[in-house]
Structure 1
Amino acid sequence: MNDKPFLQTLAHTLRVQRWDDHRYYHHSRINQSLHLLSAIFFLISYAMLFFNPAMAALLAWCVSMTSRQAGHFFFEPRGYDHVNQASDQHKEEIKIGYNIQRKIVLLAIWVAIPAALWLQPSLLGLIQPANDVQGWLHDVGIAWLALGAAGLIFRVLQLWIQQDLMTAVAWMTKILTDPFHDIMLYHKAPLYLLRGELIDPMDHVSHDLNAKHG
């Protein structure tokens, strides 16, 4: 039984999840730079939630999520990870959050929502149908906001069942605070790109792993 205080255990679990996320999935400097862009617009979206939630969701999904996932899908190396001595398949299997397979499902729903609202503005009588494009965009934004919340809650419950509550709470905390952490972690990534460095050498990761196994 873990006798450590809840907050202390949460902080430790959060640090481990953040460290694993960085060392496993953010080798590309382009991916890091896109995460920086994503983080900035996520913070803008956070502020907009208080006065225009629909527009906040549109901004978060269309700018923050697309740039973030483009970094993972198109620029992050998918071969054998020599730094961590792990295959891509292994990393996908152990990923705490949304791996590529889960992301494809989530993004497919994201793309389907605007089409569904365009073809069936009332969603078979569930909502008041929009009368113009502005109304349609508002409905799409609210639906995307609901999708984001549902995706977060679904994975939290899944982790709670599959692993434990602490892992689930730590992951939820990580997701909600990632924009702040990503800015701190990747604010120099564009500078490295300008210097021609496409891949982070991850020397700090190698040193940490050597220290643990030394």
Structure 2
Amino acid sequence: MKISFLKLNEQRWDDHRYYHHSRINQSLHLFSALSFLYAYYLLLVDPVAAALVAWLVSMTSRQMGHFFFEPKTYDEVNRATHEHKEEIKVGYNLKRKLVLLSIWVAIPIALWLLEPGADGLLRKAGQFWLYLGFGGLAFRTLQLFFIRDIQTGLTWLVKIVTDPIHDVLLYYKSPLYLLKGQLIDPMDDVKARQAT
């Protein structure tokens, strides 16, 4: 089964138009993307350090954008409720993210309870976070194989792995808009596409 670039573009487009209205969220995604790219480099030299950067810097900044800054009101541009967007989300919607993030938080707590005061607790947590990262990708990919189809699952996996590059290209101007006082993207690109 091969990746569908049409479906990849569709998943990217839906992700942008539904989940990235806030310029703060977009700017946090830019920061997250740059730190994820650094984590990708670290995977080659120190996988545990890569997991620490990915979870402590990249994921926290990325998810703060979604949970705290992205509007959850009715989306006038796309004519969709927040509930509708959560239902059709291919990857991890906010409910699924809460489960994943709860496991992430539980790991160092469990390690500390099992071995209070143990040396290298952060690196041990990093090891488990590395497994959690790969496990979360594998779990949702396999889940999509069954609830959608294999092509959707593989396409989503490619989207997630390449999102840092795409986010840099898409949101590199967002901090400038934010500095000019624009808190919400007018979504002119979405409106233009809807008009055609």
The CA deviation string for residues 103-137 of structure 1, in whole angstroms up to 9 with x for no partner, is 1111100000001111114xxxxxxx9951xx212
Q: C-alpha offsets along residues 56-82 of structure 1, whole Å, 9 cap, x if unaligned?
A: 101110110000000000000000001
Alignment match, 1:164? 149
Match of 2:40 in 1: 46
Once residues 194 and 112 of structure 1 are traced to their aligned partners in structure 2, the CA distance between those partners, rounded to angstroms, is 36
Cα distance in 1 for partners of 2:12, 2:130 equals 24
Structure 2 gap ranges (5+)? none
Any stretches of 5+ residues in structure 1 without a counterpart? 122-128
**1:12 corresponds to:** 6
CA displacement, residues 165-202 of structure 1 (integer Å, 9 cap, x when unaligned)? 11100100000000000000000000000111000000
Percent identity for Structure 1 against Structure 2: 60
Q: 1:71 aligns with which of 47, 65, 68?
A: 65
Q: What CA RMSD, in Å, does the superposition of the two structures yield over aligned residues?
A: 1.4
The equivalent of 1:30 in structure 2 is 24
Tell me which of 128, 143, 149 is aligned to 1:143: 128
Aligned length: 196
Would you identify which runs of 4 or more consecutive aligned residues in structure 1 move more than 3 Å? none
Q: Give, in whole Å, the separation in 1 of the partners of 2:189 and 2:130.
A: 37
Question: SS of the residue aligned with 2:45?
Answer: coil
TM-score normalized by the length of structure 1: 0.89
Asked if the contact 1:130/1:139 (under 8 Å) is kept, the reply is no
| Alignment counterpart, residue 107 of structure 1, candidates 101, 105, 108 | 101
Amino acid at match of 1:88: H
* DSSP-derived class of the 1:13 partner: helix
Deviation at 1:147, TM superposition (A): 0.3
SS in 2 for 1:49: helix
Matched letter for residue 99 of structure 1: N
Aligned partner of 1:62 in structure 2 is 56
Q: 2:97 matched to 1:92?
A: no
